[in-house]
């Protein structure tokens, strides 16, 4: 009896199509990716049933969180051009001269919480060293002209000048944050006649509470 | 997995010297591996769920307008105390004993819906909606405030405001051990 010969087939698989798909997906993810902004306060936002999205740009965010047992306020504003213009204006106001290099560094800084007096020192650090730098938070009080108030006011002005848009204000607070701190920030905004702002929340996962 | 060249090379009889025909197939395995690795990385680092926000409108306190008189019976005051508890009362402070309640479906939401109905029944339209005053004490948390505001939108309260708490109300919270 003749033996049935099994034809030897090549094990090579054509991967062209797979490769195409893989790179297509990769391109999509790269283009849509926005790196997570490292939140120094690690604030856990409260839940709500609201589904309104936070605007992606033209936004100033005030983060209130507890770091090492102290309530601290961090500030961030979108747009590197707005940040640069804000720092210049802040420098003029507090009589601190920032070098173009420092302004460039600041325009890349996503979120910060240092008093203006220490800002130069903070900017001179390498990005990896900044993590270890204790950020005491932006000083604020109940007067109309505290540092936080000036940051907000000048970035609103900068945004208006550069983009001709009204800057949206959002407050991101930790769940366990006590009310007086929140009230202080709302008061700061009230002094500037900002009576409408967003509170950042997470969508409640379960429909029933 | 690279393919072996199985085509017979060698000289043809008396022919010219021809260059060997190379396979045009490129091994894509490594490239696909890399692409999927990067896809995985980008998928895991992107935030797919975007942050949600809640609108908050505070009353403009810089302009003192002539304020409309409102029947006290239409107003419900919510005092936010400590330990995730709250107190609420209808009407004027000190006239009716506040009810201690908790946040959530069976607490605040139920009270809001019931009081809203009561106000709608006892007052003449169109001024028969309930007015809610939210008074957070210094011992309440941000989460309490957001929860209360959320209940306002869930129960469809038309007009509400965050108001400063009075010493009388603080004393009441203290009496109930919530401050």
Torsion of CA A148, B150, B142, A201, to 10 degrees: -60
Query: Is A25's Cβ below 8 Å from some Cβ in B?
Result: yes
In a domain, A38, yes or no: no
More confident residue, B6 or A42: A42
Token digits of residue A158? 């900068």
In a domain, A36, yes or no: no
In a domain, B142, yes or no: yes
> Which CATH number covers residue B157?
3.30.420.270
Asked whether the beta carbons of residue A182 and residue B142 sit closer than 8 angstroms, the reply is: yes
Query: Is A34's Cβ below 8 Å from some Cβ in B?
Result: yes
Token digits of residue A159? 């945004």
In a domain, A30, yes or no: no
Q: Which residues of A touch B46 (CB under 8 A)?
A: 29, 32-34
CA nearest to B135 within chain A: A179
Query: Is A33's Cβ below 8 Å from some Cβ in B?
Result: yes
Q: Choose, out of B80, B146, B155, B165, the residue to mutate when testing the contact with A (most A CBs < 10 Å).
A: B146
**Structural domains of chain B, count:** 1
Domain range for A164 is: 47-203
Query: Is B38's Cβ below 8 Å from some Cβ in A?
Result: yes
Predicted model pTM: 0.73
Asked whether the beta carbons of residue B104 and residue A209 sit closer than 8 angstroms, the reply is: yes
Read off the pLDDT of residues B22-80 as tens digits, 9 standing for 90 and up. Answer: 777 778 888 889 989 988 888 887 766 667 777 777 777 666 655 666 677 788 888 88
Q: Which residues of A touch B110 (CB under 8 A)?
A: none
Torsion of CA A21, A26, A32, A33, to 10 degrees: 150
In a domain, A20, yes or no: no
Of A12, A186, A199, the CB nearest to B53: A199
Read off the pLDDT of residues B90-109 as tens digits, 9 standing for 90 and up. Answer: 877 667 777 888 887 788 88
B147 has pLDDT over 70: yes
Ramachandran region of residue A42, left (φ > 0), alpha (ψ -120 to 50) or beta?
left
pLDDT at A208: 47
- pLDDT confidence bin for B152, thresholds 50/70/90: confident
Of A22, A174, A189, the CB nearest to B142: A174
Dist. CA A79–CA A70, nearest whole Å: 29
Read off the pLDDT of residues A66-102 as tens digits, 9 standing for 90 and up. Answer: 877 778 888 888 888 888 888 888 888 888 888 888 8
In a domain, B18, yes or no: no
Q: Which residues of A touch B143 (CB under 8 A)?
A: 46, 175-176
Share of chain B above pLDDT 70, in %: 82
Q: Contact, A182 vs A71, CB < 8 A?
A: no
Burial A157-196 (b: 16+ CB within 10 A, else e): ebbeeeeeeebbbbbbbbbebbbebbbbbbbbbbbeebee
In a domain, A40, yes or no: no
Separation of CA A30 from chain center: 19
**ipTM of this predicted structure:** 0.73
Asked whether the beta carbons of residue A46 and residue B143 sit closer than 8 angstroms, the reply is: yes
Mean pLDDT throughout B162-173? 81
pLDDT at A24: 92
Of A16, A18, A170, the CB nearest to B53: A170
pLDDT at A38: 67
Strand A59-67 relative to strand A70-77, pairing:
antiparallel
Q: Which residues of B touch A44 (CB under 8 A)?
A: none
Domain range for B111 is: 72-175
In a domain, A26, yes or no: no
In a domain, B89, yes or no: yes
Q: Which residues of A touch B61 (CB under 8 A)?
A: 190
Residues in chain A with pLDDT values less than 50: 207-209
Of A29, A51, A195, the CB nearest to B58: A195
Number of CB pairs < 8 Å for A and B? 150
Q: How far is A21 from chain B (nearest CA, A)?
A: 9
pLDDT at A209: 42
In a domain, A11, yes or no: no
In a domain, A13, yes or no: no
């Amino acid at each position: 009896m003749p033996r049935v010969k099994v034809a030897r087939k090549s094990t090579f698989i054509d991967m062209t199509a797979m490769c195409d798909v893989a790179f297509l997906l990769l391109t999509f993810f790269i283009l849509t990716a926005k790196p997570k902004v490292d939140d120094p306060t690690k604030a856990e936002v409260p839940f709500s049933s609201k589904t309104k999205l936070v605007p992606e740009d033209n936004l100033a965010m005030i983060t209130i969180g507890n770091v090492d047992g102290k309530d601290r306020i961090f500030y961030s504003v979108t747009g590197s051009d707005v940040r640069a213009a804000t720092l210049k204006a802040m420098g003029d106001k507090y009589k601190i001269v920032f070098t173009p290099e420092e302004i460039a560094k600041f325009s890349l800084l996503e979120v910060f919480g240092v008093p203006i007096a220490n800002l130069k020192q903070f900017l001179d650090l390498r990005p990896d060293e900044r993590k270890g730098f204790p950020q005491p938070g932006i000083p604020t009080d109940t007067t109309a002209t505290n540092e936080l108030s000036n940051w907000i006011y000048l970035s609103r002005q900068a945004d208006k000048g550069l983009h001709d848009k009204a800057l949206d204000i959002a407050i991101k607070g930790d769940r366990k944050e006590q009310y007086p701190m929140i009230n202080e920030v709302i008061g700061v905004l009230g002094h500037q006649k900002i009576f409408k702002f967003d509170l950042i929340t997470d969508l409640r996962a379960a429909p029933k509470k | 997995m690279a393919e072996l060249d199985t085509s017979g090379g060698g000289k043809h009889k008396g022919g010219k010297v021809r260059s060997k025909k190379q396979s045009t197939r490129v091994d894509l395995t490594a490239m696909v591996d890399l692409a999927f690795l990067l896809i995985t990385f980008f998928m895991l680092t992107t935030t797919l769920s975007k942050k949600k926000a809640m609108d908050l409108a505070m009353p403009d306190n810089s302009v003192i307008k002539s304020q409309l008189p409102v029947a006290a019976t239409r107003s419900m005051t919510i005092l936010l105390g400590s330990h995730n508890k709250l107190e609420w009362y209808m009407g004027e402070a000190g006239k009716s004993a506040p009810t201690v309640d908790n946040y959530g479906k069976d607490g605040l939401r139920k009270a809001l819906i019931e009081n809203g109905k009561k106000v709608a029944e006892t007052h003449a339209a169109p001024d028969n909606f309930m007015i809610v005053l939210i008074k957070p004490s210094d011992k309440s948390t941000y989460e309490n405030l957001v929860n209360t505001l959320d209940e306002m939108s869930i129960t469809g309260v038309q007009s509400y405001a965050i108001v400063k708490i009075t010493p009388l109300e603080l004393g009441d919270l203290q009496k109930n051990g919530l401050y």
